[in-house]
Structure 1
Amino acid sequence: MTAKPRVCVLRTDGTNCDRETYYAFAQAGAECRMVHVNQLRAGAEKLAGYQILVIPGGFSYGDDVHSGKILAVELTSYLREQLQSFVDAGKPVLGICNGFQVLVRTGLLPRGRMGQIEAALMPNDSGHFECRWVRLRVEKSPCIFTRELEGQIIDIQVAHGEGKFFARPETLAELEQNGQVVFRYVDAAGRPTLDYPANPNGSPGAIAGICDPRGLVLGLMPHPERCVEPYQHPHWRRTAALPLPCRQIFASAVRYVQGQY
């Protein structure tokens, strides 16, 4: 039997999507453990003992100063070598919502290098918190989390106040050229859009998620962990065979670690 990959579900004060993320990876066949950042700082836990790292959604440290910034500073100040070594070893990293905000502020996105901050998640153009279902198109990319989803349109939840992807024009052009845009917000016809409400935050290029150049580090604003069971979808009573593409995001990471890709 293939060994179950060990998943580190990183927690800190304000994290509130950790249990759902744990469940999603466990359903995908992983062995998960909740790990508080203080356990890593104290040496009671080591990232080297895990094959997948996920930074779940929530409001780490209340999003004081800026969304995700304090946790990002903590990671870069105290765990820089562990985290960079984890990425350099070719181990997948997933950041969901607040986790995406953290990854861009550590520099792991978009280039996979700690300290090179070239992007941010800014306040939504709507001026308020967006908590609802949207549609995404899964783009062709090197991302190992979406290998079985490319070209699909998926339903997914968003829950954020600061989700507008921001980067300099040359950085955006580079992301497009390298195929690092993994998810885009789309309208009812499946076309990428900047128009509200289909695009909940006004992200340029309709960007909802990106990966690093190798496709091992993925960050996205929507919450795939909130739709891994049929009853979590608003139309589950009306659709006999409801597809659950969000499950594949977690399952693909597990299969990658097990050497099935």
Structure 2
Amino acid sequence: MRAAVIQFPGSNCDRDMAVALANVAGGAENVSMVWHKDAELPKGLDVIGIPGGFSFGDYLRCGAIAARSPIMDAVVEFANKGGYVFGLCNGFQILTESGLLPGVLMRNAGLKYICKDVELRVETTASPFTSRYTVGEVVTVPVAHHDGNYSADPETLKRLVGDDRVAFRYTETPNGSVDDIAGILSANKRVLGMMPHPERRADTQLGGTDGVRFFEGIADALVSA
């Protein structure tokens, strides 16, 4: 398994993501750090992760500037060819701004930054990112965001639910997200975006391991491909 983590000015979860990926990829040598100004991705990639943080200082809409970085053309092309891509927190915002996922992340309903553990309910196992969980299982994962309020028009919501593309829901929405949505999938279920941080629950030293299976599921999918 070969993975890449995209870095933007203001990314602050890139190392956390790289460590979590390295643990299932056979070592750090199989994880590349790619700068946003690069125009090409490393050869032979299996999966791309877009980390949390505050890319470009969260100016304009969160993720809007990052989505127009040179590397994102290559990421979009990779995804459109069936590659696995996931974005966490700011990464989710970037995926919606780049058009790889529908909807938008808006200012939290309480207009305050939220940093705490939340409970998530697993809504589907029909994706590599959720395959190691069970439907209805509740896991604990941290959130840390100011603009995590997911919104989409009624037709998009109907399509997400009908096509089994809601990956996670909050048991109690901390940010006002419509339909309690915490994470969604693309139509082919190879692209995922979620506001919570599974990479921050991928080691006992981080307070829990509920995020480990997120990364193990990606590795499983690549082995069986």
TM over 0.5: yes
Partner amino acid for 2:77? S
Deviation at 1:13, TM superposition (A): 0.5
Change (3 A) 1:34 1:175: same
Deviation at 1:220, TM superposition (A): 0.2
Q: Of 196, 203, 221, which aligns to 1:256?
A: 221
Give % identity: 37
Unaligned runs of 5+ in 2: none
For residue 170 of structure 1, what is the aligned residue in structure 2?
Answer: 155
Using structure 2 for the length normalisation, give the TM-score. Answer: 0.93
Matched, 1:85 2:69: no
Residues 97 and 223, structure 1, Cα contact 8 Å, conserved in 2? yes
Matched, 1:122 2:102: no
Report the secondary structure of 1:62's partner residue: helix
Aligned length: 221
For residue 21 of structure 1, what is the aligned residue in structure 2?
Answer: 17
Partner amino acid for 1:256? A
Deviation at 1:141, TM superposition (A): 5.0
Report the secondary structure of 1:258's partner residue: helix
Whole-angstrom CA distance in 2 between matches of 1:130 and 1:170:
29
Residues 139 and 184, structure 1, Cα contact 8 Å, conserved in 2? yes
Question: Per-residue CA shift, 1:224-249, capped at 9, x if unaligned?
Answer: 0001111212xx6xxxxxxx231011
Whole-angstrom CA distance in 1 between matches of 2:77 and 2:223:
20
Residues 211 and 217, structure 1, Cα contact 8 Å, conserved in 2? yes
Matched, 1:145 2:129: yes
Deviation at 1:46, TM superposition (A): 2.3
For residue 36 of structure 1, what is the aligned residue in structure 2?
Answer: 35
Larger radius of gyration: 1
Unaligned runs of 5+ in 1: 111-118, 187-197, 237-243
Residues 47 and 86, structure 1, Cα contact 8 Å, conserved in 2? no
Q: Of 97, 100, 103, which aligns to 2:89?
A: 97
Using structure 1 for the length normalisation, give the TM-score. Answer: 0.80
CA root-mean-square deviation: 1.6
Change (3 A) 1:79 1:97: closer
